[in-house]
Chains A and B, each alone.
Chain A
Amino acid sequence: GAVVSQHPSRVICKSGTSVKIECRSLDFQATTMFWYRQFPKQSLMLMATSNEGSKATYEQGVEKDKFLINHASLTLSTLTVTSAHPEDSSFYICSANVPGQGYGFFGQGTRLTVV
C-alpha cells in the first residue's frame, strides 16, 4: 500500500535554530502534500498545502516565514521551522494524496522539541 514517511521521527533543537522535517512518498508520486500540527491532547490543525513545483498555500494564521515549505520533487516535501522557539514544540504530521487510491495517507509524524 501507499506509504508516506517522515524524517526524523523525533528532533530536539535549541531555541533560535532552524530544523527541517522531510515528508516522502515512498512508492507513489504526490503532487500535493499537506502539513498538520498537533498539540498535546488536541486535534490536528492544517497548516499548509504543499504543491509540487509551486508555492505552498498556508492556512489563515500560519506564519509563512516561520514555517517554510518546499516541494521540489514529486516524492518530497519539506517543512523548515525557522528560528524555532519553545512554543513551536509540537507534533508535525504530513499527508499525501495517492493517485487512484484517494487521499489522506499520513506519515508517522515528527515530534519537535525546542529547548
Chain B
Amino acid sequence: AQRVTQPEKLLSVFKGAPVELKCNYSYSGSPELFWYVQYSRQRLQLLLRHISRESIKGFTADLNKGETSFHLKKPFAQEEDSAMYYCALGRGSTLGRLYFGRGTQLTVWP
C-alpha cells in the first residue's frame, strides 16, 4: 500500500535559518512526488514536483529512492514561508490522483 509520512506536525525556525521538512513514502511502483503549500486562508498550491527538479521560492526537493524520501529544503527561511506544507504521492496511472501526508505547519519567526 502507498503511504506518505511527514513526521513533523509542527516546525518552527527563525528567519534566515535553514529549514527542512521531511517526507518519506512507501510505494511499490515508480513514485511521482509533490510538495503542496497552503498559506493561511488560501487554497492548496503546487510548490514542487520531483520530475521538474526546479527551485520555487528558494525551495528544493530531491527524490532519494534509496531512502524513499523527498525532503523539502530551503537554505534561508523567510517569514512569508510560514504555511502548511503537504507532501503528496501520485498514484496509479491516472495523473492527479494524489495521496497526501498529514502536513507540516511551518512557522518562521522574525
A interface residues with partner B (beta carbon < 8 Å): 32, 34, 36, 42-46, 49, 57, 93, 95-97, 102-109
B interface residues with partner A (beta carbon < 8 Å): 34, 36, 42-46, 49, 86, 88, 94-103
Q: Are B96 and A95 in contact (CB under 8 A)?
A: yes
Beyond A32-B94, A104-B88, is A44–B43 a contact (Cβ under 8 Å)? no
Q: Which residues of A contact B98 (CB under 8 A)?
A: 34, 44, 46, 95, 104
Q: Which residues of B contact A42 (CB under 8 A)?
A: 102
Q: Are B43 and A34 in contact (CB under 8 A)?
A: no
Q: Which residues of B contact A45 (CB under 8 A)?
A: 100
Q: Which residues of A contact B43 (CB under 8 A)?
A: 93, 106-109
Q: Are A104 and B99 in contact (CB under 8 A)?
A: no
Q: Are A43 and B101 in contact (CB under 8 A)?
A: yes
| Complexed CA–CA distance, A43 and B45 (Å) | 15
Q: Are B96 and A93 in contact (CB under 8 A)?
A: no
Q: Which residues of B contact A107 (CB under 8 A)?
A: 43
Q: Which of B86, B98, B99, B102 has the largest number of chain A CB atoms within 10 A?
A: B98
Beyond A102-B46, A104-B36, is A97–B96 a contact (Cβ under 8 Å)? yes
| Complexed CA–CA distance, A108 and B44 (Å) | 8
CB < 8 Å: which of B44, B46, B97, B103 contacts A49? B97
Beyond A93-B44, A108-B43, is A103–B101 a contact (Cβ under 8 Å)? no
| Complexed CA–CA distance, A34 and B101 (Å) | 17
Q: In the complex, what residue of chain A is closest to B43 when comparing beta carbons? A: A108
Q: Which residues of A contact B99 (CB under 8 A)?
A: 46
Q: Which residues of A contact B88 (CB under 8 A)?
A: 104
Beyond A43-B86, A43-B103, A44-B86, is A34–B96 a contact (Cβ under 8 Å)? yes
Q: Which residues of A contact B45 (CB under 8 A)?
A: 106
| Complexed CA–CA distance, A83 and B67 (Å) | 45
